[in-house]
Structure 1
Amino acid sequence: YVNDPASVTSLKGSQNCCPGVQVIGVHNNGGLRQGIFAVPARKLHAGNDLSYDQLALVETLAIGYHAVQRGNPQPGETVLVIGAGPIGLACLEFLKLMDVKAVVMDMVRSRLDFSSRNLGIRHTLLFAPDGSHLAELDKLTDGRLADVIIDATGNPQSMSTCFDYAAFTGRVVYVGITTSDLTFPHAPVFHRRELTLLASRNAMPEDFENIIQLIREGKINTTPWITHRISFDDVPAGFHQFADPALGTIKAIIDVR
């Protein structure tokens, strides 16, 4: 991330959402080059002892780490992650290290199975069109529902209805993004339960440092994340396959070596 260090937001310590922040590889050209000139004042994170595969997951994990920090789960609370894609899984990686009850919900059974098998998540909910998953959450929490909800879907319908899963005084974090307008009932749900809505964008410098250390210590295993590989030469013809849900891609690595 390249932020404006003189902006009011950066001076307040929120470099991640500085109005002029630029993400290398998103807002401008990426890092697929032999060298990058870094401004001396901009701290780089030392991860020379990590493999390229491990380093490739750090930024994705950082998005989840920051979302969890925004939700600020407390010991004993229930945290519901909606969406078991890469960002939702990243949130679960850190929730499993905390003294909370982590619950994940998705529409795809294979993704729930992945979170159970590789992350050790015990509580999974398969979204049901008839709403029966809400009854399951109610039973799982003894009627309390979720103290923290992290919506990682980017789906406007999910983001508009996720308040139904929130406990009174709960916190809802949007880490998935959408360009659609969102609507939700104010008085009967949001206001009555005195909920708090938070957004989560990018990550903080210290998030990267903490994640690198957790990988070093073996508390986060990035190996299961990389489900597919493709050579650089095969990208034009083969990259499209990773968008096929039937393939079950979590993360695909492009090997440029």
Structure 2
Amino acid sequence: MEVSICSKCLGNGDALTKYASGSQCKVCTGVFDVYAVKQRNSLVKTLVCHRCSQQRNICQCCLLDLSWGVPTELRDRLLSLIHDDPSLKTQEARNDMMRRFLSLKDVKLGGAQITSQTDSLEELKPLLQINKSLQQDLYASNHYLICNLDKSIPKWKVESAVDGIVGIEGSVESVSVNPEARVACITVKDDASTKFVEKLEKCKSKGKMTVRGKLTIDRFNTVVTSLQEPVKLDGFSDNLGIFLQKNVLFAESRRDRETPGRRTQNKPGKPNKVTKRSKRARDLEL
């Protein structure tokens, strides 16, 4: 029995039910043996065949990456940024014939070339932590990521800017700066974190949740986001800055930019048709 199912989809059910030639693969459209496992009141079934799952290193049920647990689109985008290699994006065939031909090859497609390795998770663990924290409330943690930081700004200027907002010296517990990636990771003391967030200039709100803040450090405007836990930034170069600009700064500017609606021009109405009755009425008025 050849199946590739993640632990979340498999759950506690070790016994799988097999349906021989039960369905068509959602990727290659070929007929394959469907396996199903019962979870509570639902039945989780495999959606793609085992070969397509191995080629993309994805779970046959939820279609997420087996190593990282993220969608393949996000996985390939992160890997292509870090390695500066566009070929790490999975290229899918456009017609059924090419899909079936591709499924016969014993190759790894896109980011599966890296995530299928056992030590692949350590390479992108900091980036995955940052990506999960991008929509987190600023009040949820006392760890923060500062983006768009100028390369000339040292650690003490970051600490001084935070202390100036809080109004207390020594409010920063720890700080790490990566000049090449133009980011800094800071941890504010628990008694000063709430005051730090309240004094920040808010630049984005999601309902009742504030997920972005603006901080001026040495005349440079930076963006502050919350982190679930401190992130080690030593192993990253400017690729991390590119990722954050596309997912934090550029995304923010797109949301804030107002898209003008279609302008409706008031077209002049058609002149009333002149009839014998209207002509007679006009003559009487004159």
Q: Normalising by structure 2, what TM-score?
A: 0.22
Which structure shows the bigger proportion of residues in strand conformation? Answer: 2
Q: Normalising by structure 1, what TM-score?
A: 0.23
State the structure with more CA Rg.
2
Higher RCO structure (Cα 8 Å, ≥6 apart) = 1
